[in-house]
Amino acid sequence: MAGVLGALRPYVKPCIAGSLISVTVADRYAYLTPIHGASMNPTFEGKTGEYALVERSCLQRHQFSRGDVVVFTSPRDHRSKVVKRLIGLPGDWIQVPETADIRQIPQGHCWVEGDNGSVSFDSRDYGPVPLGLMRGRVTHVVWPPHRIGRVDRKIPEGRVMPQQHF
């Protein structure tokens, strides 16, 4: 038994160190997240096995931009993470799709929508999302290989009126 433990010792220490480094990187800088569902199609196909890189430096001062794809904790189910496009920032006025409503986004909140609005459950359903629920910004698709690339920032035209215009 002592011989087995002695043989494993050189491998255990680097594994523990590597795990601690990985946890620190994921917590502070970036991590990979699986993408599920069709709400962000065509940005993501939503097929099983699709992964995106999420950077976390934007969380320090809530440094998000209109058009960013973001990951946040669902306001309806705090155990699940959601991927949507950030459409409006605090203080912006937004025209809600399929309605004549124009709403101002409250301070400390943002408006998110899926790229595939016909199947997306988003701010049109649960309202503005608190910035405190944000977990990061999606920057790249990293898997599968044929989809590897940067995630573009897109803003719907004519629906968002930034706060400074009023």
Catalytic site positions? 39, 84
Q: Is the pLDDT of residue 71 over 90?
A: yes
Backbone angle region of 124, left / alpha / beta, with phi > 0 → left and psi within -120 to 50 → alpha? alpha
What is the residue type of 105?
I
Model pLDDT for residues 27-64, shown as the tens digit of each residue: 456 788 888 888 998 888 877 788 999 998 776 766 88
The values of phi and psi at residue 6, to 5°, are: -65, -35
Spell out the SS3 assignment of 50-111. EEEEEECHHHCCCCCCCCCEEEEECCCCCCCEEEEEEEECCCCEEECCCCCCEEECCCCEEE
Judged on CB neighbours under 10 Å (0-12, 13-18, 19+), 73 is: middle
- Report pTM: 0.77
Kindly list the structural domains of the chain, giving each domain's residue range(s) and its CATH number in brackets, ordered by start: 30-165 (2.10.109.10)
- What is the number of H-type helices and E-type strands within the chain? 2, 11
> What's the pLDDT score for residue 117?
85
Among candidates 153, 49, 67, which has minimal Cα distance to 112? 67
At residue 10, the pLDDT reads 62
> Does 109 have pLDDT greater than 50?
yes
Encoded tokens for 19 = 């795990």
